[in-house]
């Protein structure tokens, strides 16, 4: 089966500019996650969707970050305006999710990530 | 919120020896504990996971143990091979939180 797709793979912008990332999860996966991974650190959850609803966005800096998953499939993450400290890899992951997911409900599969450099 | 601590931050072992990485968590409501392997410049990959109703799980050379009372879980890799060299992350889900990672180096 096809994996999680993300684009672009790399992006360089200047501070105060805006940027958007796109993610297409594995077909049939109800849960979608966006993570920020700063070099040398573990992934930090930014937002979790279950279908098209937000489950957890407590660590999303809402003054500059926004995310949507309007049709419950693909998702976009936007940063506006960007700051230097936003330089990181943005990872998207998906899982089957609770309910019908069974024992594999929580297994997350990651996309290749988008490496963002803010100058 | 959940706090996950992971130790050690770096670990070097001779090829063929065993490696153990330990994590502790704070939220007693956490019920799912995955481990990920991340090679340089690549995405994290799930290597093994365990749910809170199980104390141990094994998959070939990899095993994970969970002590719910003490709120800690560990990854055990036996008969290590050079391709095991990578950064390993533990995570705890109630509120999904990752550890800080362990850089494992296998010395040939």
What average pLDDT does chain A have? 93
Q: Tokens 């105060």 correspond to what residue?
A: A16
Q: Which two tokens stand for residue B82?
A: 């050079």
CA distance A50 to A73: 10
pLDDT at residue A100 greater than cutoff 70: no
Gap from B99 CA to chain A (nearest CA, Å): 6
Q: Do A41 and B100 touch (CB under 8 A)?
A: yes
Nearest chain A alpha carbon to B33: A106
- The answer to whether B35 and B55 have CB atoms below 8 angstroms apart is no
Which ranges of chain B have pLDDT less than 70?
none
Q: pLDDT at position A99, please?
A: 60
Q: What is the mean pLDDT of residues A60-73?
A: 94
Q: Tokens 């970050």 correspond to what residue?
A: A65
Which of B44, B51, B64, B87 to probe by mutation at the A interface, max A CB count within 10 Å? B44
Q: pLDDT at position A103, please?
A: 66
Q: Which residues of B touch A (CB under 8 A)?
A: 1, 6, 32, 34, 42-46, 49, 51, 89, 91, 93, 95-101
Q: What is the pLDDT of residues A40-56, one digit of tens each?
A: 899 999 999 999 899 99
Three-class DSSP category at A102: helix
Q: pLDDT at position B94, please?
A: 79
Gap from A91 CA to chain B (nearest CA, Å): 8
Nearest to B44 among A56, A103, A110 (CB): A110
Three-class DSSP category at B12: strand
Q: pLDDT at position A98, please?
A: 67
Conformational region of residue A84, where left means phi above 0, alpha means psi within -120 to 50, and beta covers everything else:
alpha
Q: pLDDT at position B2, please?
A: 84
Gap from B10 CA to chain A (nearest CA, Å): 12
Quick one: what percent of chain A has pLDDT higher than 70? Answer: 94
Q: Residue A81: name the closest of A59, A60, A65 by CA.
A: A65
- At residue A57, what are phi and psi to the nearest 5 degrees? -135, 25
Three-class DSSP category at A25: coil
Q: Do B44 and A43 touch (CB under 8 A)?
A: yes
């Amino acid at each position: 089966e096809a994996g999680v797709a993300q684009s672009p793979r790399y992006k360089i912008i200047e501070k105060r500019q805006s940027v958007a990332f796109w993610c297409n999860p594995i077909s049939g996966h109800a849960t979608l996650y966006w993570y920020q991974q700063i070099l040398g650190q573990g992934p930090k959850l930014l937002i979790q969707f279950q279908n098209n609803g937000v489950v957890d966005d407590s660590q999303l800096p809402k003054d500059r970050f926004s995310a949507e998953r309007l049709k419950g499939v693909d998702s976009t993450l936007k940063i506006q305006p960007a700051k230097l400290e936003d330089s990181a890899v943005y990872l998207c992951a998906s899982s089957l999710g609770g309910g019908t997911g069974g024992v594999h409900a929580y297994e997350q599969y990651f996309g290749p990530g988008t490496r963002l450099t803010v100058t | 919120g959940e706090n996950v601590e992971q130790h050690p931050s770096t670990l070097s072992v001779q090829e063929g020896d065993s490696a153990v990485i330990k994590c502790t968590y704070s939220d007693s409501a956490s019920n799912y504990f995955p481990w990920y392997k991340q090679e340089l410049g690549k995405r994290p990959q799930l290597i093994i996971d365990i749910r809170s109703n199980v104390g141990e799980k094994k998959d070939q050379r990899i095993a994970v143990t969970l002590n719910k009372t003490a709120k800690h879980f560990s990854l055990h890799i036996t008969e290590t091979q050079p391709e095991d060299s990578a950064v390993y992350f533990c995570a705890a889900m109630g509120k999904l939180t990752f550890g800080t990672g362990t850089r494992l180096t296998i010395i040939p």
